[in-house]
Structure formats: structure tokens, C-alpha cells
Amino acid sequence: DLLTGLPNRRSFYEQAVHQIALARRHERPLSVLMIDLDRFKRINDTRGHPAGDLVLKAMASAGKHILRQSDIFARLGGEEFAVLLPETDEEQAIVIAERLRQAVAKARFEHDWGEQGPIPFTISIGVAPCFKDDAAIEYALKRADRALYDAKQDGRNRVKVWSRMPEAKASGEVRAAG
């Protein structure tokens, strides 16, 4: 991604194929995070698109400082980011996601133009495991996206975890818990 310096959607998917194969072969955990900047449109509308670009860069910087080098952190498009967490089970992924969410919420991104002051922003994060029988990363991303949707519906600036509803396992319904 030219703006943030992160891998783009295509690169993320290519790396995910490799990571899924490794996790499956070695029977190791693999989790995914879907991240969305809260009320990003409002930042663009009130501060302008250059400010929005700076916020996207700040998000990329925060992720680079919090995440491990082995994690695959990418900008999928717009204000949407994803992280593939090798060797990371659901509980560990929640800790990482919460650490990232808190770091972003505490940061006050300063810029050297305009008189509107710092640009605060928050993120919502959906967490989901990659299952051994997932044929592609899209399955885990859909689960994480569902949890992300629930995080936004529940007020934003939070981490939600995908889980199966006990009574709905047979039907394949999902809910976010956390």
C-alpha cells in the first residue's frame, strides 16, 4: 500500500496462503484480526482527506510498534486493516488486539498544519481463529468481520471475538462474544 507502507490486500492474501499451509502442516494455531477505524468518514469530512491520510499512516505506525515482526499486518482498503497472527491462539489474539486498541485510543496524533489540534481516533477489532479445515483465509476473515461488525454495533472502540452459538452450531450461525 503506497500510503501506509503496509502490504496491500493482494500481498496479504498471498502471505495468508503460506501461513495457513504452515499452521495446518505443523498443527499450530493461527488467528486473524479485522480492524476498522471508527468514524473515519467524519475525520475526512471535518478535517479533510489529507488529515484522513495522516490518520491512516498513524494507524500503520501504531500497528508496526505493537505487532510482532512475524505478524502480517496489511491495509485491505479504505480504513480497513487485517492482521494474520501465526502461532497465536484465540486467547493470545485477544490480548494482542486489546493492546493495539488501547495504544490507538491513548494516542493523540499530532500534525503540524491547521489549527484544529490533535486528531484523536479509535479502532474496532474483530478476532477469529483460522480452523484446520478452512480452505482459504476468506473463511476466517468473514468470522473476524462478523465480530468487527458486532464491535461497531456495540459502540465502537472495542474488541469482539467470533464464536459459535451453542444452540446454532448445526446451522452455522455465528455471534460475537467478548
The model's pTM is 0.87
Q: What pLDDT was estimated at residue 118?
A: 75
Q: What pLDDT was estimated at residue 116?
A: 67
Q: What pLDDT was estimated at residue 122?
A: 94
Q: What pLDDT was estimated at residue 138?
A: 94
The band of 135, judged by pLDDT with boundaries at 50, 70 and 90, is confident
Decide if 79 is catalytic.
Answer: yes
Over residues 48-83, the pLDDT tens digits come to: 898 899 899 999 999 999 999 999 999 999 999 999
The answer to whether 82 touches 166, Cβ cutoff 8 Å, is no
What mean pLDDT comes out for the span 153-169? 76
Which amino acid belongs to residue 66? I
The CA distance from 143 to 148, in Å, is 9
**44-58, 104-118, 136-150: which range is least confident on average?**
104-118
The answer to whether 36 touches 144, Cβ cutoff 8 Å, is no
The CA distance from 105 to 82, in Å, is 18
Over residues 5-33, the pLDDT tens digits come to: 999 999 999 999 999 999 999 999 999 99
List the 80-86 sheet strands across, edge first: 72-77, 80-86, 30-37, 123-129, 159-164, 174-177
The band of 164, judged by pLDDT with boundaries at 50, 70 and 90, is low
| Residue indicated by cell numbers 468487527 | 148
Strand 123-129 versus strand 174-177 pairing type: unpaired
Q: Which of 14, 27, 79, 90 is catalytic?
A: 79
Residue spans of beta strands (DSSP E) within 23-137: 30-37, 72-77, 80-86, 123-129
* 43, 52, 101 from 111: Cα distances, Å: 14, 11, 21
Q: What is the mean pLDDT of the chain?
A: 88
The answer to whether 125 touches 112, Cβ cutoff 8 Å, is no
